[in-house]
Amino acid sequence: MRLLSRTLLTALATVAGLTVVPGVSTPSPAAAATSWELQGRGWGHGIGMSQYGALGAANKGLGYRRILGFYYPGTTVGTAKGSIRVLVTAEKRNTLTVANRTGLTVRSTTTGTSYALKRAGATRWRILPSADNATSRVYVLVSGRWVLVRQIRGGAEFIAPSLRLYLPTGSKVLRGRLRSVIVNGQRDVVNILPLEYYVRGVVPLEMPASWHRQAVRSQAVAARTYAAFERASRTSSYFDVYDTTRSQVYGGLSAEDARSTAAVSDTAGEVRLYAGKPAFTQFSSSNGGWTVASSNADLPYLKAQADPYDPIRTWHWTLTQAELNKALPGIGTVSAVTVTERDGNGAGGGRVTLLKVTGTGGTRTITGSDLRSAIGLLSTYFWIQ
């Protein structure tokens, strides 16, 4: 699922000055060269809601429900409540460390017993697994020294209204509980919190909070629905969503913004339903003027259609021989790249679905999606000049 950060959304605006006007829709081979010039449009996979399209629709006077109805046709308004379990992917170590604060407790997830954590001079607390992962050891940092204060059978979690979590890359403040989970002999950290608080920590990282309030409301409902869909679909027994673009970017209380929080509150509990269940509300930054259909026939609301609201963000990319050689080992030095198939939706034949890449050691046919993933292209909606 594409979930661009605010930084990438800002960067998108810097490459938007180029207008693509494809001349033909038939496949066009590139001449043998050491690089190929690509002209493209859109940013992301193009499935579901275009975030720039939502902004364009809001600027034309559409409310958030009409925006969502356009991008997820056939879905209806519903509600979702409860909690969500978020895997904190940045914590690769075997420990869970939080700042000292008033009201902090630690709870055994095996027995359910809770213990208040108080110590004069304490600055941090830590859960560390025993060598055999049978117990959780609770340590306190006092005067620069870690001191063991308690051993808890099985897994454990810290509980407080908010918790500052220390990570290898710094720290962030999260709402809810922070659980140390034993998984296949290792420990993962999972943030468990109410769904509404989770959405507060997602929306400003997926769409600028300064955008039109109807667009931000659209993002809030899409983010909440996406989380509810993942929660219902996840086969894992200990978490529902990742905190990265693998699901949605989540930054916790540290990321919250009053403007996007207002959009979350304005749409509290609201989701989009299909056949009575949360829809898979995928979204991307910009679709280039035409949405992409899901490959899953069970998701008919994710269909290909012209988008009159997307401003058609354009881009240019110099695709080098070195990039292709690295991405496609085994065919020798690449000498030609030819688009052989498009999806037929939109200008110039639409998005690239298949390409033929010729090298000194052979020829390979790859999908447009595979090329985009391998090279890091902004979308599959491009033409080789």
How far, in Å, CA of 224 to CA of 157, rounded? 25
Residues 31 and 57 in one domain: no
How far, in Å, CA of 62 to CA of 215, rounded? 9
* 151 within a domain of the structure (yes/no): yes
Q: Are 67 and 321 a contacting pair, CB within 8 Å? A: no
CB within 8 Å of 233: residues ≥ 6 apart:
none
Q: Residue 242: what are its φ and ψ, rounded to 5°?
A: -85, 160
DSSP string, 128-139: EE-TTSSEEEEE
Residue-averaged pLDDT of the chain: 91
Residues 101 and 68 in one domain: no
- Residue 147: which domain range? 93-167
Residues 39 and 53 in one domain: no
* 187 within a domain of the structure (yes/no): no
Q: Are 117 and 105 a contacting pair, CB within 8 Å? A: yes
Residues 161 and 214 in one domain: no
Q: Which residues pair with 78 in a beta bridge?
A: 271
The confidence score (pLDDT) of residue 87 equals 96
Query: Quick check: helix, strand or coil at residue 261?
Result: helix
pLDDT band at 32 (very low <50, low <70, confident <90, very high): low
Residues above pLDDT 90, as percent of the chain: 83
Q: Are 287 and 378 a contacting pair, CB within 8 Å? A: no
* 181 within a domain of the structure (yes/no): no
Residues 233 and 269 in one domain: yes
* 55 within a domain of the structure (yes/no): yes
* 138 within a domain of the structure (yes/no): yes
Residues 76 and 214 in one domain: yes
Q: Which two tokens stand for residue 140?
A: 């306190």
Angle 196-194-266 (CA atoms, 0-180°, nearest 5)? 15
**Pairwise pLDDT comparison (381 vs 236), residue with the higher score:** 381
* 260 within a domain of the structure (yes/no): yes
**Pairwise pLDDT comparison (88 vs 92), residue with the higher score:** 88
Only one residue has tokens 């978020």, namely 86
Write the pLDDT tens digit of every residue in 117-146.
Answer: 999 999 999 999 887 778 899 999 999 999
Residues 380 and 342 in one domain: yes
pLDDT band at 19 (very low <50, low <70, confident <90, very high): very low
Q: Sheet holding 270-274: strands in order across?
A: 76-79, 270-274, 277-278
The closest alpha carbon to 356, from 346, 368, 345, belongs to: 368
CB within 8 Å of 14: residues ≥ 6 apart:
none
Residues 67 and 15 in one domain: no
pLDDT band at 25 (very low <50, low <70, confident <90, very high): very low
Residues 257 and 131 in one domain: no
Residues 233 and 254 in one domain: yes
How far, in Å, CA of 182 to CA of 156, rounded? 9
- Count the domains in the chain: 3
Residue 25 CA to its chain's centroid (Å): 32
The confidence score (pLDDT) of residue 268 equals 98
Write the pLDDT tens digit of every residue in 353-380.
Answer: 999 999 999 999 999 999 999 999 999 9
* 184 within a domain of the structure (yes/no): no
The confidence score (pLDDT) of residue 5 equals 41
DSSP string, 267-312: TTTEEEEETTEE----EESB-TTB-B--S-TT-TTS---B-SS---
* 331 within a domain of the structure (yes/no): yes
pLDDT band at 235 (very low <50, low <70, confident <90, very high): confident
pTM metric for this prediction: 0.88
Residues 219 and 363 in one domain: no
The confidence score (pLDDT) of residue 132 equals 76
Residues 235 and 365 in one domain: no
DSSP string, 311-354: ---EEEEEEEHHHHHHHSTTS-SEEEEEEEEE---SGGG-SEEE
Using the 3D structure, point to which of 236, 265, 284 is the last residue of a domain.
284
DSSP state letter for 244: S
Using the 3D structure, point to which of 266, 284, 302 is the last residue of a domain.
284
Q: Which residues pair with 192 in a beta bridge?
A: 85, 177
65-79, 185-199, 222-236: which is most confident = 65-79
What is the distance between the terminal CA atoms of the chain, rounded to a whole angstrom?
Answer: 29
CA distances from 161 to 84, 197, 366 (A): 16, 11, 50
The count of other CB atoms within 10 Å of the CB of residue 311 is: 16
How far, in Å, CA of 282 to CA of 4, rounded? 12
